[in-house]
Amino acid sequence: MNTKDIVYIALFAALTAVLGLFPPLTLPVTGVPVTAQSLGPMLAGAILGARRGGLSIVLFLVLVAVGLPLLSGGRGGFGVMIGVTGGFIFGWAISAFVIGLLIEHFWNDLTVIKATLAIGFGGIVVLYAIGNAWVAVAADISYWQATVGAAPFLIGDAIKVAIAVAACLAVRRSYPLISKAR
């Protein structure tokens, strides 16, 4: 890993922190808050690739764990991370890694559909699998009940997948990084 890789990893960790500063939107009817921060793992994976993207989110999580208030709403510290929704926070690192793997795999002929598959699978299927399992254990409910409880958040995450797909394709045209690395 050369100096440039370390800088990419650090700057995407910083970018994820900055995305947490944007005020959350509240979805009409359901009242579910949607934060821009969870775009961070999607973008890190889709733009930096599996290894660098995953590590940049790990780095971000380390800084949250040591007590910096970098999560959206100024939250941070161990309490938030191992609380009820901790799986959705730890899951970000794995989500970024999986998105990176799939984007790298599709890189040479990346289309909107393939990018949506990659980011949707990593950013929703993988993330919710981990997050819901964590909620199920913490709240002593079944996996299915946890899945139903998480469903309202899907709308916000679907919007974020769409944004990440468009951003990933735009950056691939203007500033490709993954092909250079391979």
Partner 1 sequence: MIAGLYIDGTSPLHRAGAGIKILAMIALGTGVFLIPDWPVVTVILTTVLVFYPLCGFGPSVIWAQVKPIFWLLLIFFAVQLWLNDWQAGLLVIARVAAIVLFASLVTLTTKTSAMLASLERAMGPLRPLGVNPEKVSLAISMVLRFIPVIATVASEIRDAQRARGLDKSILAMVVPLLIRTLKMADDVADAIEARSFDPDETAS
Residues of the shown chain interacting with partner 1 in the complex, contacts defined by CB under 8 A: 1, 3-4, 6-15, 17-18, 21-22, 36, 39, 43, 47, 59-60, 62-63, 65-70, 73, 75-85, 137-141, 145, 149, 163, 166-167, 170-171, 174-175, 177
CA distance 146 to 64: 25
Least Cβ distance, residue 121 to partner 1 (angstroms):
21
DSSP string, 32-61: -EE-STTHHHHHHHHHH-HHHHHHHHHHHH
Rank residues 10 and 117 by Cβ distance to partner 1 and give the closer one: 10
Least Cβ distance, residue 80 to partner 1 (angstroms):
7
Rank residues 31 and 108 by Cβ distance to partner 1 and give the closer one: 31
Contact 13/26 with Cβ under 8 angstroms? Answer: no
Rank residues 73 and 147 by Cβ distance to partner 1 and give the closer one: 73
Which residues are bridge partners to 25 per DSSP?
Answer: 34
CA proximity to 158, closest of 121, 114, 110, 103: 121
Least Cβ distance, residue 117 to partner 1 (angstroms):
20
Q: How far is CA 64 from CA 76, 108, 137, in A?
A: 5, 35, 23
Least Cβ distance, residue 158 to partner 1 (angstroms):
13
